[in-house]
Amino acid sequence: MDMSEEWTSYRPADLLMFSLRVYERLFVLHNQALWPGQLLALALGAAMLLALLRPTALRLRLTFLALALAWVFVAWTFLWQRYAPIQLGIPYVVPFFVLQALLLGLYAIKSTPELAGNSLSRFIGTGL
Amino acid sequence: MTDCILSRRRLLQAMLSLAAATSIPAIYGNDKQAPLTRPVPDTDLKLPLVGLGSWITFNVGNDPVLLKQCTAVMAAFFAMGGRMIDSSPMYGSSQATIGHGLETLDAFDQVYSTDKVWTSSHEEGPEQIEASRREWGVERFDLLQVHNLVAWEAHLETLFAMKEQGEIGQVGITTSHGRRHDKMERIMRDYPLDYVQLTYNIVDREAESRLLPLARERGIGVIANRPFQQKRLIRRLEGKPLPSWASEIEAGSWAQFILKFIISHPDISCAIPATTRPDHVRENMATARKPLPDAAMRRRMAEYVQNL
């Protein structure tokens, strides 16, 4: 059996490192630890939607910065602190979250953000 | 403050031991009876035929509820006379979970610590072994194995040197799912291994033809992993009738039927089922007692499962 045959002989279930219960508990504990931070996140999300519907350069800049912070926050508090101990692949994913945050931050700081397109496409995009 | 911590720990130990020792139905047998053992190669030590695996089940991160649950599993395991616990750096937080359990139960003298080295880099081997040792909190590993034969030549060199220095007890190699048996056979012939770990159960019996006889010939202990095919075998048999003659070997469930089959093979040193439940660990440990099936009964058991 060569290496490629060996890898294809694994079932997806063989590669799962943790049980469903552990994964569910991960979200339960994370949300319990954050409470009532979820309310703040909802308020921020609503503010970003409003900013996208009535955009100005400042509002868009703040929206991009808020998104950058959100990517870093998730990478640190969920991926690194909670998920990485049970999933060995997560440390390789975290840098991509940080990169995404950096790109969003750079865009907010270095350029003048603006939304292209007419009001309908903007409305659909915001809805999505 | 120290006294306070110690007294809390003692209280928890007492509670877990009490919970582990009470209300034991017939399926768990008499917990006072010591489990059957087989010798550890090259030592005077003997280990129970059933150990405890940690793949998936002990990978619970830093969840306090699940850590407590795993500690209760370990408490039940030790209360039934269990010794060998097996883990790997590949198992996420399992090593830290075991370390937590050992410290909470103050069970460092009871455990036969079995771990693995799992890295493709020769240089990283000793560093990884030391990190694993710290996670467990043990002074040294009783058995250290090369996981899945990854970089086996280089790691075996390290492990034999560590054994020579008294930094580990025994040396082994592992594989699973019936893979790389040819390579394992070659290594068993060429190196003075103490243990091999491989998949063996009532439906995965490839090891019987060459590896188990070779292990006997070379005086190598054999640890059987995936005894229940990660529960798949149990699910397959669930709902199907346990034969009436299973009572002759005191197998009261499919799990006991399968485990009795594995550990009754004379060349198997230990089976390492993993579980999240103290009642299951008791049920598993209870199989390491007489009566064990003889050769004729083993054939009958295998044929019965094959025909289901």
- For residue range A45-90, list pLDDT tens digits in order: 999 999 988 889 999 999 999 999 999 999 999 999 999 999 999 9
Residue pair A67/A48 in contact (Cβ under 8 Å)? The answer is yes
Separation CA B180–CA B89 (nearest Å)? 21
- Both tokens of B148, joined, read 């899945």
* Residues above pLDDT 70, as percent of chain A: 90
Q: Which residue of B has its CA nearest to A82?
A: B61
Q: For residue B30, what is the DSSP state?
A: -
The average pLDDT across A90-96 equals: 97
Residue A112 has pLDDT above 80, yes or no: no
Q: How near does any CA of chain A get to the CA of B206, in Å?
A: 15
| Cis peptide, bond prior to residue B291, ω within 30 of zero | yes
pLDDT reported for residue B2: 40
Residue pair B48/B40 in contact (Cβ under 8 Å)? The answer is no
- Among B224, B294, B230, residue whose Cα is nearest residue B259: B224
Answer positive or negative: Cα dihedral of B202, B204, B208, B212: negative
Beta pairing, strands B141-146 & B112-117: parallel
Residue A17: count other Cβ atoms within 10 Å of its Cβ.
17
Q: How confident is the model at residue A126 (pLDDT cuts 50, 70, 90)?
A: confident
pLDDT reported for residue A102: 97
Say yes or no: A50 contacts chain B, CB-CB below 8 A. Answer: no
Q: Return the C-alpha torsion angle B123, B125, B126, B130, nearest 10.
A: 140
* Per-residue pLDDT in tens (0 to 9) along chain B, 308 residues: 344 445 555 555 555 555 554 444 555 655 567 999 999 998 999 999 999 999 999 999 999 999 999 999 999 999 999 999 999 999 999 999 999 999 999 999 999 999 999 999 999 999 999 999 999 999 999 999 999 999 999 999 999 999 999 999 999 999 998 889 999 999 999 999 999 999 999 999 999 999 999 999 999 999 999 999 988 999 999 989 999 999 999 999 999 999 999 999 999 999 999 999 999 999 999 999 999 999 999 999 999 999 98
Counting Cβ atoms within 10 Å, is residue B103 exposed (0-12), middle (13-18) or buried (19+)? middle
Q: How near does any CA of chain A get to the CA of B92, in Å?
A: 5
3-state secondary structure A13-42: HHHCCCCHHHHHHHHHHHHHHHCCHHHHHH
Q: Which of B63, B90, B230 sits opposite A25 (nearest CB)?
A: B63
Contact B180 A17 (CB under 8 A): no
Separation CA B174–CA B184 (nearest Å)? 8
- Among B276, B274, B223, residue whose Cα is nearest residue B69: B276
Q: Which SS3 state, helix, strand or coil, does residue B240 take?
A: coil
Residue pair B17/B49 in contact (Cβ under 8 Å)? The answer is no
pLDDT reported for residue A12: 77
- Both tokens of B274, joined, read 């993993």
pLDDT reported for residue B3: 43
Residue pair B135/B40 in contact (Cβ under 8 Å)? The answer is no
Say yes or no: A29 contacts chain B, CB-CB below 8 A. Answer: yes
Task: Phi first, then psi: give them for residue B80, nearest 5 degrees.
Answer: -90, 10
Separation CA B56–CA A21 (nearest Å)? 11
Bridge partners, residue B143, by sequence = B114, B170
Separation CA B256–CA B261 (nearest Å)? 8
Residue pair A74/A97 in contact (Cβ under 8 Å)? The answer is yes
pLDDT reported for residue B27: 59
Residue pair B276/B65 in contact (Cβ under 8 Å)? The answer is no
Kindly state the helix (H) or strand (E) to which residue B38 belongs, with its residue range. strand B37-39
pTM of the model: 0.87
Q: How near does any CA of chain A get to the CA of B285, in Å?
A: 23
Say yes or no: A27 contacts chain B, CB-CB below 8 A. Answer: no
With a CB cutoff of 8 Å and minimum separation 6, the contacts of B282 are: B20, B24, B28, B31, B76, B80
Q: How near does any CA of chain A get to the CA of B192, in Å?
A: 25
The position carrying tokens 């485990």 is: B259
Q: For residue A111, what is the DSSP state?
A: S
Contact B63 A17 (CB under 8 A): no
Kindly state the helix (H) or strand (E) to which residue B271 belongs, with its residue range. strand B270-271
Contact A13 B90 (CB under 8 A): no
Contact A6 B230 (CB under 8 A): no
- Among B36, B53, B45, residue whose Cα is nearest residue B95: B53
pLDDT reported for residue B1: 38
Separation CA B63–CA B229 (nearest Å)? 26
Separation CA B134–CA B115 (nearest Å)? 12
Q: Return the C-alpha torsion angle A13, B264, B84, B128, nearest 10.
A: -50
Separation CA A123–CA A53 (nearest Å)? 7
Please report the domains of chain B, with CATH numbers, ordered by start residue.
2-307 (3.20.20.100)
